[in-house]
């Protein structure tokens, strides 16, 4: 007699975490992405650019996050941090590496699409499609806004009290400039 296994639905998290606006998460990702892309673009030979991107991505998104309480450069600039959804603590370095392996691979494809695929718009769109698919998955998850890479290792992005609040500062600067232009 064979025993059938049923797939149980994933347990909900023990806490209800505050949500971070999706645009802040996108801005934080873009800041990290462009910082790593800039450093890797300084390397002239394409294969070394890819290696520099991978090493830079791991350094910024795994090593720095494990060392600086869940924040990378982009997350610090926009007041967000990453935690393990089950334990409500900083994920360990293995979980961060798994998470960033998935997201880093899509970011690398995005970098290739932007750097080498711009003359051919279709190539750039195809290579950036995994990043957009991950964003759509995060937008579609109304409870925790988890993308595929976050579901893979049960991590959650939450607001932080530590950071620079770059988006708020830019909004204030724009408001000040627009007020001065009206006068």
Q: Does the pLDDT at position 158 exceed 70?
A: yes
Check residue 10 and give its pLDDT.
56
Say which residue, 8 or 126, is predicted with more confidence.
Answer: 126
Residue 174 falls inside a structural domain: yes
In a domain, 61, yes or no: yes
Domain with 137 in it? 22-178
Tell me what pLDDT residue 5 has. Answer: 44
What's the domain count of the chain?
1
Determine, yes or no, domain membership for 76. Answer: yes
Q: Percentage of residues in the chain with pLDDT exceeding 70?
A: 94
- pLDDT-derived band of residue 171, with 50, 70 and 90 as boundaries? very high
Rounded CA separation 76/160 (Å) = 8
Decide if 153 contacts 99 (C-beta within 8 A): yes
Task: Assess if residue 5 is contained within a domain.
Answer: no
Contact indicator for 40, 49 with CB cutoff of 8 Å: yes
Q: Is residue 16 part of a domain?
A: no
For the four alpha carbons of 137, 127, 119 and 111, in that order, the dihedral sign comes to positive
Q: Does residue 47 or residue 117 have the better pLDDT? A: 47
Q: Which of 5-9, 95-99, 122-126 has the highest mean pLDDT?
A: 95-99
> Is 14 part of a structural domain of the chain?
no
- 59 located within any domain: yes
Predicted model pTM? 0.88
44 is written with which tokens? Answer: 């002239």
Task: Say yes or no to pLDDT of 63 above 90.
Answer: yes
11 assigned to some structural domain? no
Contact between 107 and 114 (Cβ < 8 Å): no
């Amino acid at each position: 007699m064979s025993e059938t296994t049923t797939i149980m639905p994933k347990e909900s998290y023990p806490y209800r975490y505050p949500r971070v606006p999706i645009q802040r998460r996108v801005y934080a990702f873009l800041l990290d992405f462009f910082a790593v892309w800039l450093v890797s673009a300084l390397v002239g030979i394409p294969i070394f650019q890819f290696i520099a991107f991978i090493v830079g991505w791991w350094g910024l998104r795994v090593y720095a996050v494990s060392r600086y309480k869940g924040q990378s450069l982009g997350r610090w600039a926009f007041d967000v941090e990453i935690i393990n959804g089950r334990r409500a603590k900083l994920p360990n370095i293995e979980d961060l590496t798994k998470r960033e392996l998935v997201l880093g691979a899509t970011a690398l494809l995005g970098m290739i699409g932007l750097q080498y695929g711009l003359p051919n718009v279709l190539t750039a769109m195809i290579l950036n499609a995994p990043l957009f698919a991950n964003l759509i998955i995060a937008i579609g998850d109304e409870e925790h806004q988890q993308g595929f890479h976050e579901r893979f290792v049960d991590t959650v992005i939450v607001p932080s009290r530590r950071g620079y609040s770059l988006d708020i500062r830019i909004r204030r600067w724009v408001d000040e400039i627009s007020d001065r232009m009206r006068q």
